[in-house]
Structure 1
Amino acid sequence: MSKILNYIKINELISTSGQPKIEQFEEIANEGFEVVINLALNDSSNAIENEDKIVTSLGMSYLHIPVSFEEPKLSDLKLFLNTLQALGANKVWVHCAKNYRVSAFMYVYHKYVLNTPFDEVDLSMFKKWSPNELWQALMKVEIDELKSV
């Protein structure tokens, strides 16, 4: 798993990364992951054509929540949080192009769903990427704002 671009294990049920290579999806399936969530756009520089077919052919479910890197929306974040919560005890792999979108969304997931203490959140991706004002605003969203979208 460590060879997958910007891999981060969140817990026993959730791992994240940048875009896996085609052959790495087989490794993900072999590790018992049941669902793959892709937050990247179809035209991302390292996107894989027919990723949905590749993933489902390996016996995993595939969900695509396309999030614009230039214009992330609060509604995207809310959809992601609700989707991840709805998956419950399923083992889920979440990725985007480089694990930047995912890391920002997972930060909010840690904050409001997992209630992870700040010093226990893996912030390693933020050494590679400094979120701009739009991403920072999403990461600073208050729980009431999420309920009102």
Structure 2
Amino acid sequence: MTKDPEHILNWRRVNAHLTTSGQPDAAQLAEIRDLGVTHIVNLGLGHGKDALPDEADKVAALGMRYTHIPVDFEGPTDQDFANFKAALDNDVGSQIHVHCIYNARVSAFFYRYAKTHDDLPEEEAFAMMESIWRPGDDWADFIGDPAAKGQPNRYAGDDY
């Protein structure tokens, strides 16, 4: 088995079938494929200085499936979560890698997902999220954390 590419920004392994990270570059997508990943899910907007241009084409050229769910960082929605959940639930048993630009969106989505799925303990999902960031106001309702209302987003190593 190929070793996890932990040099990718905020790389995390959720379980044997799920990995997450910040934005991988084209070479890193190949490393992710070499782990046996067959499906890439991108929660980033897909444009901007840190996005990978033509990511869908690069993923397809590597023989993987690509799902893009562009999540507005200032306003994640229940529909975004439903699309994320469907992407995971419709591909059970496959190797899936989920990323955004920093792994903030993704870790919050997995924390919310863990609240309703027995295969991912909520405490582990919270610890993964907290190792990257502590969501604030824009995300408080989304992740079900009323104490975060009125708080800024804080990032591990910078704000705590």
Aligned residues: 141
Query: 1:71 matched to which residue of 2?
Result: 75
Q: What is the SS of the residue equivalent to 2:117?
A: helix
Q: For CA contacts below 8 A with separation 6 or more, give which structure has more relative contact order.
A: 1
Query: 1:144 matched to which residue of 2?
Result: none
List, as ranges, runs of 4+ consecutive aligned residues in structure 1 with deviation greater than 6 Å.
Answer: none
Q: What is the SS of the residue equivalent to 1:106?
A: helix
Q: 2:47 aligns with which of 32, 38, 43?
A: 43
Identity %: 36
CA distance in 2, matches of 1:73, 1:19: 21
Q: CA deviation at 1:97?
A: 0.4
Q: 1:23 to 1:138 in 2, by over 3 A?
A: same
Q: Which amino acid aligns with 2:96?
A: V
Query: 1:31 matched to which residue of 2?
Result: 35
TM-score, structure 2 as length reference: 0.81
* Structure 2 gaps, min length 5: 146-160
CA distance in 2, matches of 1:124, 1:9: 9
Q: Is the Cα contact below 8 Å between 1:44 and 1:97 reproduced in 2? A: no
Which aligned pairs between 1:82-121 and structure 2 lie closer than 5 A? 82-114=86-118, 116-121=120-125
Q: What is the SS of the residue equivalent to 1:59?
A: coil
* Structure 1 gaps, min length 5: 142-149
- Indicate the structure with greater helix content: 1
